[in-house]
Copies of this chain bind each other. A is one copy, B any other.
Amino acid sequence: MAGYAMNKDDYLKRLARIEGQVRGLRRQVEEDTYCIDVLTQISATSAALRSLAVGLLDEHIRHCVTEAAIGDDQEEANRKVTEATKAIERLVRS
């Protein structure tokens, strides 16, 4: 089971909204919208994606990492922390 299982519907709704934002961006470019207005919309879309990623990281640490720790599988817990850290690093640089 994925760490975000309990909030799956919420994530799907947010992703549908983000898809709509990207479609809005295409429309803006098609209609030759002023660069700065397109950039404002890109920042809003990026922020929505980031916020989603932070939410998934929270669920991953809250469920996947702690379950491995509680399950006394120290190696598995360590592996999951390393995965989380690498995901944080990728996110910060993306």
Q: How far is the CA of A26 from the CA of B72 in the complex (A)?
A: 33
Give Cα A94–Cα B32 distance, bound, in whole angstroms: 23
Query: In the complex, what distance in Å separates the CA atom of A38 from the CA atom of B2?
Result: 10
**Docked CA distance A3–B32 (Å):** 9
- For the complex formed by this chain, how many copies does it contain in all? 4
Give the size of the chain A interface in residues (CB under 8 angstroms).
65
Q: Which residues of B contact A39 (CB under 8 A)?
A: 53, 56-57, 60, 87, 90-91
Give the B-binding residues of A (Cβ under 8 A): 1-5, 8, 11-12, 15-16, 18-19, 22-23, 25-26, 29-30, 32-36, 38-40, 42-47, 49-50, 52-54, 56-62, 64-66, 69-70, 72, 77-78, 81-85, 87-94
